[in-house]
Structure 1
Amino acid sequence: MSEKIRILMIDDHPMIIEGYQNTLQFTKKLNQELYIDIANNCDEAIAFMDKSLERGIPYDVLFVDISLPPSKDGLMQSGEDLAEYARTILPKAKIIILTMFNESFRIHNIIKNIDPEGFLIKSDLTSSELASAFQAVLKNPPFYSGTVNSHIRKSITSDIVIDEKNRKILHLLSQGVKTKNLAAHLDISLSAVEKRKKQLKNLFSVEDGQDETLLEEARKKGFV
């Protein structure tokens, strides 16, 4: 009995998609038939998803690259937004996230907002890992690549609990954003930012009060 699997691959690099396609076709099980559509940007991906619903044959698996150009209407800023949209209109589809980002903040954000069945960091990716991830996601999700797992492990074993805003402060500081500009990014007052930074420095036992030391300690614990 053959198993038909409908797949949408979303990535703005045609060569990468070709590699994914070849790997899956070459490593699929004998009873699996793969039907693959390709979208190179958010708008194409939305059109494919909507059409699959109209036809009554929704996708089973979506491969979503996080770094995508925004949609023309500006509502989708990245693959992250696209995956959240897919979650609402294709609730049964398995989502595999592929990304170059390996910062702790981004990884946690994606797991919290999307909870993907597969999560692969492109720099970890080999064709055998892609094939394993695909089969695992179909039968026994989730499948996370090594970098993702080590970030999760680090933050679980750390006894420091940090909320979303504090995580974002660490992330923005690591990107070189000055303290005076943090308030605008976070939608809170400058004094609230200062208060949170002070809490963070206490949490991470930063003696010298320097932002660099705070980031160094946060990195060791897997928060940046």
Structure 2
Amino acid sequence: MTDPIKILLVDDHPLVRAGFQRLLISDDSIEIVGEADNGQSACDMYATHAPDVVVMDLNMPNDSSASDEACHNLNGGLEAIRRIISHDTKAKVLVLTAMEIDPFPAHVVNAGAKGFLTKRCAPDELLAAVKAIHNGEEYITEEMRTRINGDGSTEAASISSLTKRELQVFALLAEGRTVSQVAEEIFLSPKTVHAHRTNIFRKLTISNNSELVHLAIRHGIVQA
């Protein structure tokens, strides 16, 4: 008998996790070996359980101390993907998220994920994606490939031009953190964060934090 596909399920909402768990284990070839509700826990559980595929949301906190909903952003998911792949370059991550607008698909692929699905996908598509990724394939729909290749709005393209670090700083500033708070959280000097902020403003053609926040809300990077 073929061994079941071992899944690590990562989502900060227990009810959502429970729903996807029921769907996944309805297939006898799939086994849930762990569940996590934040980026740090996902990395720890990956090291412990060595799953075949990680099914992960993007919009979640980096760690369990960030319980405030305002701290939930794509940094939690993206950072977890990067850390897992840094730990195991052969890791297979399928992103399953409601955050389907640009620039998320491109950043997910750049972070090293093997697949990208939205939470409105059909149940059969999720199962097919898990099996395809387990078999060493990528699973990215044509619609998402189009977005990744840059066929989007000028505003979204500008966000996509941000580096990983700039996107991280952008999200934290949009949550209302000061430059000093951002510097402390991501272990940079305030001078370096100021430099990133200047580059972000230039790339996004904005001039103040209010515009930055409105742009972040429009594109689902932070919640209103």
Normalised by the length of structure 2, the TM-score is 0.59
Counterparts of 1:196 and 1:162 in 2: how far apart (Å)? 10
SS at 2:129 equivalent: helix
Give the match for residue 198 of structure 1. 198
Is 1:36 aligned to residue 31 of structure 2? Answer: yes
> Unpaired runs of 5+ in structure 2?
65-75
Aligned to 2:110: 112
| Equivalence for 1:166 | 166
RMSD: 4.3
Superimposed CA distance per residue, residues 64-83 of structure 1 (whole angstroms, 9 cap, x where no aligned partner): 33559969xxxxx9896488
Change in CA separation of 1:189 and 1:137 when aligned onto 2, cut-off 3 Å: closer
Counterpart-to-counterpart distance in 2, 1:180 and 1:68: 20
Count the aligned residue pairs: 192
C-alpha contact (below 8 Å) 2:129/2:139 kept by paired residues: yes
Q: Which has the larger radius of gyration?
A: 1
> Is the contact between residue 105 and residue 168 of structure 1 (CA under 8 Å) also seen in structure 2?
no
What does residue 123 of structure 2 align with?
127
Task: Give the structure 1 partner of residue 95 of structure 2.
Answer: 97
Using a 3 Å threshold, how does the CA distance of structure 1 residues 215 and 149 change in structure 2: closer, same or farther?
Answer: farther
What code does the residue aligned with 2:23 have?
G
Q: CA-to-partner distance for each residue in 1:4-60, whole Å, 9 max, x for gaps? A: 3531122363443111222x45xxxxxxxx2524323456654443xxxxxxxxx6x
Change (3 A) 1:83 1:205: closer
1:53 corresponding residue in structure 2:
none
With over 3 angstroms needed to count, the CA separation of the structure-2 counterparts of 1:21 and 1:172, relative to structure 1, is same
2:25 aligns with one of 12, 21, 26:
21
Secondary structure, in 3 states, of the residue corresponding to 2:4?
strand
- Using the aligned pairs only, state the percent identity: 14
Contact 2:114-2:137 at 8 Å conserved across structures: yes
Equivalent in the alignment of 1:185: 185
User: d(CA) in 1 for partners of 2:115 and 2:103?
Assistant: 18
* Structure 1 unmatched ranges of 5 or more: 26-33, 50-58, 72-76
Find out whether 1:141 has 2:145 as its counterpart.
no
